[in-house]
Amino acid sequence: MSNNKIDINNLYPTMSSLGDLVILLRKLVSIPSFSGEEKGRSDFLCQYFSNKGIETERIGYNIIVRQPHHDVSKQTLMLNSHIDTVRPVASYTFDPFNPPTSDTHVFGLGSNDAGASVVCLLHTFLHFYKKELPFNLMLVLSCEEENSGPNGMTRIAKEFPGVDFGIIGEPTGMRAAVGERGLLVIDGEASGVSGHAARNEGVNALYIALDDIFKMRSVKFDKISPTMGEVKLTVTQINSGTQHNVVPDKCKYVVDIRPTDQYTNTEILEILQSKVKSKLIARNLTNRSSATPPNHILMKAAEELRIETYVSPTTSDWIRISCPAIKMGPGESSRSHQADEFVLISELKEGLDGYIRFIEELVKLKTVN
C-alpha cells in the first residue's frame, strides 16, 4: 500500500469521523464478550445500527447487515470480523474493561483482536451502505471465533449461504494474508506391556512412541504449496511412566501440525497413521488451511494497490467459509491475547482508509471486466 498518509476525514466528508471509531471501540471494549457470552456486545451493536435506521438480522448472537438494495442477481462481498474475545490474562496492569484513555491508543481486552477490525469494517460498510456497487456488501459480525465454537461462523455458513467472496478482519497491519495455514492437533498413544525395569520385562511403550515420533518427523509430504510451502509437524508434549522401576505400558504425546492447501487434515492423519504403531486421534479435522486463488479479483486488487501479501500462521473464521477471501485488518497479530492489549488510533485511521480503498479498487476491477 502507498506510504502516503491521507486525512480520511477530509477525503470522505460524508464518512463518520475518526473520533466516532474511537468512541465505538472504547464502548465495545467496556462490554465483556467472551466466546459464547457475546449477548451484551451483540445487543449493543444491534441498537447502534437501529439508532441509524438500519435493520439487522441475528443468528444467535451473530449480526448480519445488508445494503437496502441487496440484489440476489449480484455477487456478494462479505465484510467479516468477530465480536468475541479470549479471557484476560492475570498480568494485566489495568482493568481490561475499564482501561486508561489516551490520545494515541485504545487500550483494553479485544481492542486489537479484533475490535479494531470490527469498527473499521462497520464504518466502511456504513460509508457504502446506500451506494450502488457492482456487487452487494454484507457485514457479518460473528461470535465464537476464539474458541472455534459451533454457534459462530460455522453456524452462519450453514444457515446463511450466498456469499461469493470475503474480507476477514483480523490484526495484520493491513497487510493482506492470501493464505492461512490450518491446524491439526493429534493425540498419539503408544501401547506396550508393563514389567520390571531390572529384569528387561515387558514392552516399553515409551520406546514405541519415540520410534513413531521419529517416523512421523521423517515423513515427506511431497505436494508443496506455492504459497505456504511444506506441511509443518512438531511434537509438543509427551507423557509416560508411573515410576522409575516400571516399564511403561502407555505413552501419550501431542503432535501440532500446520497443514497447507495441498492436503486435507484427514489425508494427513491417514498418511501418518499408516507409518506408526501408535493410535492417532485428531482433536478436530475441520480447521483446514485456506488460500486465495491466484487470479481472483481479491488478489488483483491487492496487486493494484501494492499491498504486501503473506501467508498467515494463525487461523481465523476464514477456515469456516468455502468462498475465496483475504484476511486483512488494523493492529498487529503479535499483540493478540497479551496483557495490556492496545491498538493505535493511527492504525484505526489506516484501517478505515485501507478498507475503503480496497473496495473502491474491487469496484473498478469489476467495472472494467
Q: Compute the mean pLDDT over every residue in the chain, rounded to the nearest whole number.
A: 92
Q: Is the pLDDT of residue 7 over 90?
A: no
Distance of CA 177 to the CA centre of its chain: 10
Residue 37 and residue 152 in contact, taking contact as beta carbons nearer than 8 Å = no
E strands present in the chain: 57-59, 62-66, 76-82, 105-107, 136-142, 165-168, 176-180, 184-191, 195-196, 232-240, 246-247, 250-258, 279-282, 290-291, 309-312, 325-327, 342-344
Rounded to 5°, angle at Cα 222 from 284 and 271: 40
Kindly report, residue by residue over 253-307, the tens digit of the pLDDT: 999 999 988 999 999 999 999 999 999 999 989 888 888 998 999 999 999 999 9
Kindly report, residue by residue over 61-86, the tens digit of the pLDDT: 999 999 999 999 999 999 999 999 99
Q: In this predicted structure, what is the pLDDT of residue 72?
A: 92
Residue 112 and residue 331 in contact, taking contact as beta carbons nearer than 8 Å = yes
Kindly report, residue by residue over 224-254, the tens digit of the pLDDT: 988 788 999 999 999 999 999 999 999 999 9
Residue 169 and residue 109 in contact, taking contact as beta carbons nearer than 8 Å = no
Q: Which residue has the higher pLDDT, 212 or 289?
A: 212
Q: In this predicted structure, what is the pLDDT of residue 1?
A: 35
Q: Is the pLDDT of residue 16 over 60?
A: no
Residue 306 and residue 1 in contact, taking contact as beta carbons nearer than 8 Å = yes
At 368, the pLDDT band (50, 70, 90 cuts) reads confident
Cell digits of residue 78? 462479505
**CA proximity to 28, closest of 108, 123, 138, 87:** 108
Cα(145)–Cα(168) distance, integer angstroms? 12
At 12, the pLDDT band (50, 70, 90 cuts) reads very low
Strand, helix or coil for residue 166 = strand
Helix, strand, coil proportions of the chain in percent (round to 5)?
30, 25, 45
**CA proximity to 68, closest of 11, 139, 156:** 139
Cell digits of residue 129? 451502505
At 345, the pLDDT band (50, 70, 90 cuts) reads very high
Residue 318 and residue 168 in contact, taking contact as beta carbons nearer than 8 Å = yes
Cα(220)–Cα(275) distance, integer angstroms? 11
Q: Is the pLDDT of residue 5 over 50?
A: no
Cα→Cα distances 267→166, 180, 262, 272, 338, Å: 27, 18, 10, 9, 34
Residue 117 and residue 352 in contact, taking contact as beta carbons nearer than 8 Å = no
All residues at 6 or more sequence positions from 13 whose CB lies less than 8 Å from its CB, including other chains: none
Cell digits of residue 167? 474480507
Pairing of strands 290-291, 176-180: antiparallel
- Is the CATH code 3.40.50.150 the one for domain 8-180+289-368? no
Q: In this predicted structure, what is the pLDDT of residue 288?
A: 84
- The DSSP code for 85 is B
Q: In this predicted structure, what is the pLDDT of residue 87?
A: 95
- Is the CATH code 3.40.50.970 the one for domain 184-282? no
End-to-end distance of the chain based on CA atoms, in angstroms? 23
Residue extents of the structural domains in the chain: 8-180+289-368, 184-282
At 160, the pLDDT band (50, 70, 90 cuts) reads confident
Q: In this predicted structure, what is the pLDDT of residue 9?
A: 40
Radius of gyration over every alpha carbon of the chain, rounded to an integer in angstroms? 24
* Kind plus residue range of the DSSP H or E element containing 360: helix 345-368
Share of the chain above pLDDT 70, in %: 95
At 369, the pLDDT band (50, 70, 90 cuts) reads low
Strand, helix or coil for residue 186 = strand
